[in-house]
Structure 1
Amino acid sequence: MDWTLEVVVVPVSDIAASVEFYRDQVGFHLDHDTQTEHMHVVQLTPPGSGCSIVIGDLPSQNEMAPGSLKGLQLVVADAAAARAELVGRGVEASEITVFDERDGGTFFWFSDPDGNTWSVQQIRARADKPLIPVEARGRFGS
C-alpha cells in the first residue's frame, strides 16, 4: 500500500500576504483559492512537487500558532541557482552551507513572513531523476 504525503498545513496570520509570498516570491503554483462567508482556504504547490501546502482559516488550520512550523524542507538540483532566484524575488535567504561535499550535503534556509522556516537541500541527482517525471507534471499542476 502506498502512503503519499499530499498536503502540509502551514499556519499563517495573514492569508493574502502569505499567498503573495509563496506565489510571487517563492514561486509556488496557486492551485486554488476558495473563499466563502465561512472559510478561506488556499493550496499552493512547489514546482515539480507532489506535495502542496495549505493555508487558511478552518479550525483545524488554526490549531498551530502562525510561524510555529519549523524545518519544512524543499529539495532542488542547484542550491546556488535556487537561492539566487529567491533573493532576486525579494526573499531573505541564508548563505549556502556545505556540511558534506557529497550530494545532499548542501543547504540554505529562509522564513515566511510569520516565521515558518524552510530549509532547501541540494540533491544534484534530481536534475537527472526528478521524483515526478516531467511528462507527468501537467497532471499535478506543477
Structure 2
Amino acid sequence: MLSLEVVLLAVSNVDRSLAFYKDQVGFNLDVDYRPTDDFRVVQLTPPGSACSIHLVPAVGGAGGGKFFLVTDNLAAERERLLQCGVPVSACTHKDPAATWAGGFAPGLDPQRRDYASFAEFADVDGNRWILQERGYRAS
C-alpha cells in the first residue's frame, strides 16, 4: 500500500507563501524548521487532509502546479476563502454531468453530485488550486 503524504510546491518567496497558505487559505503549519540560513523545511497541511505541502524555493520560475482540494460544501468553503481575501472564481459544474465531455455550466451542480462542482484560486506564485465538492449533505 502507498499513500501520498507530501507534495513539494515551488514558490518564489517562502515567507510570503507561508503567510498566504496559513493566514488566508487556513492550512495548518506543521513545521517551520530553519537550522541554518541555507536550509529550511516549511510544511503545511490543509485541515482534515492526510497530504501536506512543503514550500520550496523555485529554481527557474514558480507557479506551474495544479492541485485539487476536496470539500463537502463548496459554497461555504468558497465564501470562507473570499472572506479571508483569497480571490476565488465563481462555482461551475460539469455539464451535462451524466455524459460529461469537458463542458461546464455556471453555479453548483443542481443535484450536488460528488466531483461535479468546482471553483478555483491561485496562490501568490500562480499555482492553481481547484476546489471540488464531494460528500455534500444538505442541512
Q: How many residues align?
A: 120
Unaligned runs of 5+ in 1: 128-142
SS of equivalent to 1:93: coil
Corresponding residue for residue 5 of structure 1: 4
Q: Judging changes above 3 Å, is the alpha-carbon distance between structure 1 residues 63 and 14 closer, same or farther for their aligned structure 2 residues?
A: closer
The structure in which a higher percent of residues are helix is: 1
SS of equivalent to 1:107: strand
Bigger Rg, which one: 2
Relative to the length of structure 1, the TM-score reads 0.79
Q: Deviations over 1:7-34 (max 9, x none)?
A: 0001100111100000000000000101
Corresponding residue for residue 81 of structure 2: 86
SS of equivalent to 1:67: coil
Superposed counterparts of 1:21-36, under 5 Å: 21-35=20-34, 36=36
Runs of 4+ in 1 over 3 A off after TM superposition: none
Unaligned runs of 5+ in 2: 98-108
CA RMSD between the two structures: 1.5
Relative to the length of structure 2, the TM-score reads 0.81
The structure in which a higher percent of residues are strand is: 2
Q: Deviations over 1:71-102 (max 9, x none)?
A: 20000000000000000000000000011342
Corresponding residue for residue 114 of structure 2: 103
AA paired with 1:97?
A: T
SS of equivalent to 2:44: strand
